[in-house]
Chain A
Amino acid sequence: MKLLRILPLLVLAAVFATVARAADKELNLYAWSEYIPQSVLDDFTKETGIKVNYETFASGEEMLAKLLAGGSRYDLIQPPDYIAEALIKNKLLIALDYKKLPNFKNLLPEFTKMPHDPEQKFTIPYMAGTVGIVVNTEKIKEPVTGYKDLFQKKYKDRIVVLDDGRELVVAALYTLGIGLNDITPANLEKARPVLADWFKLIKLFDSDSPKTALLNGDVDLGLVWGGEGAILWNEDKKFQYILPSEGAHLFVDILAIPKGARNQVAAHKFLDYILRPEVSAAISEEFPYTNPNGEARKLLKPEQLANPASYPKIVKKLDTFRHIGESSTLIDELVTDLKNAK
Chain B
Amino acid sequence: MQALPSTSANSPHARRPRVWGWVLLAPMIAWLVLFVILPMVILFVYSFCTRDDLGRVVFEFTFDNYRRVGDPIYLTILGRSIAYAALTTVLCIALGYPVAWFIARQREAVRNTLLLLVMIPFWTSFLIRTYAWITILKGEGLLNGLLLAVGFIPEPLTLLYTPFAVIIGLVYAYLPFMILPIYGSAEKLDNALVEAAHDLGAGPVRAFSEVIVPLTWPGIAAGVLLVFVPAIGMFAITDLMGGARVPMIGNIIQNQFSKAFNWPFGAALGVVFTFMFILAYALIQRRGARDPHS
A positions within 8 Å CB-CB of B: 59, 61-62, 64-65, 68, 86, 90, 157, 160, 163-166, 202-206, 212-213, 216-218, 323, 325-326, 328-329, 331-333, 336-337, 339-340, 342
Q: In chain B, residues 243-274, which have Cβ atoms closer than 8 Å to a Cβ of chain A? A: 243-247, 252, 255-262, 265
- Once A216-B140, A332-B255 are accepted as A-B contacts, the answer to whether A68 and B51 lie under 8 Å apart by CB is no
Q: Chain A residues near B161 (CB, 8 Å)?
A: 203-204, 213, 218
* Distance between Cα atoms of A204 and B245 in the complex (Å): 6
B positions within 8 Å CB-CB of A: 51, 53-56, 73, 76-77, 134, 138-141, 158, 160-161, 239, 243-247, 252, 255-262, 265
- 19 A-B contacts (beta carbon < 8 Å): A61-B55, A61-B261, A65-B258, A90-B54, A160-B243, A166-B259, A203-B161, A206-B243, A206-B244, A213-B243, A218-B161, A325-B54, A326-B261, A328-B259, A328-B262, A332-B259, A336-B252, A339-B244, A339-B247
User: Are A59 and B243 neighbours in the complex by a CB distance under 8 Å?
Assistant: no
> A141: shortest Cβ distance to chain B, in Å?
19
Among A90, A213, A336, contact of B255 (Cβ-Cβ < 8 Å): A336
* Distance between Cα atoms of A304 and B87 in the complex (Å): 50
Looking across the interface, which residue of chain A has its beta carbon closest to that of B141?
A216
Looking across the interface, which residue of chain B has its beta carbon closest to that of A164?
B259
User: Are B244 and A163 neighbours in the complex by a CB distance under 8 Å?
Assistant: yes
Given contacts A212-B134, A218-B138, A336-B255, 6 further A-B contacts (CB under 8 A): A62-B258, A68-B54, A204-B161, A206-B239, A218-B140, A332-B256
Looking across the interface, which residue of chain A has its beta carbon closest to that of B161?
A204
User: Are A86 and B246 neighbours in the complex by a CB distance under 8 Å?
Assistant: no
User: Are A325 and B244 neighbours in the complex by a CB distance under 8 Å?
Assistant: no
Among B51, B138, B255, B258, contact of A216 (Cβ-Cβ < 8 Å): B138
User: Are B160 and A218 neighbours in the complex by a CB distance under 8 Å?
Assistant: yes
* Distance between Cα atoms of A336 and B77 in the complex (Å): 9
* Distance between Cα atoms of A337 and B247 in the complex (Å): 9
> B144: shortest Cβ distance to chain A, in Å?
10
User: Are B245 and A64 neighbours in the complex by a CB distance under 8 Å?
Assistant: no
* Distance between Cα atoms of A331 and B261 in the complex (Å): 11
* Distance between Cα atoms of A203 and B51 in the complex (Å): 34
User: Are A68 and B56 neighbours in the complex by a CB distance under 8 Å?
Assistant: yes
* Distance between Cα atoms of A61 and B239 in the complex (Å): 19
> A134: shortest Cβ distance to chain B, in Å?
17
Q: Chain A residues near B261 (CB, 8 Å)?
A: 61, 325-326, 328-329
User: Are A217 and B245 neighbours in the complex by a CB distance under 8 Å?
Assistant: no
Q: Chain A residues near B259 (CB, 8 Å)?
A: 59, 61, 164-166, 328, 332
* Distance between Cα atoms of A13 and B245 in the complex (Å): 58
User: Are A61 and B258 neighbours in the complex by a CB distance under 8 Å?
Assistant: yes
User: Are B243 and A205 neighbours in the complex by a CB distance under 8 Å?
Assistant: yes
User: Are A64 and B54 neighbours in the complex by a CB distance under 8 Å?
Assistant: yes
* Distance between Cα atoms of A212 and B131 in the complex (Å): 11
- Once A204-B244, A336-B247, A340-B76 are accepted as A-B contacts, the answer to whether A328 and B54 lie under 8 Å apart by CB is no
Q: Chain B residues near A213 (CB, 8 Å)?
A: 161, 243
Looking across the interface, which residue of chain A has its beta carbon closest to that of B140?
A217
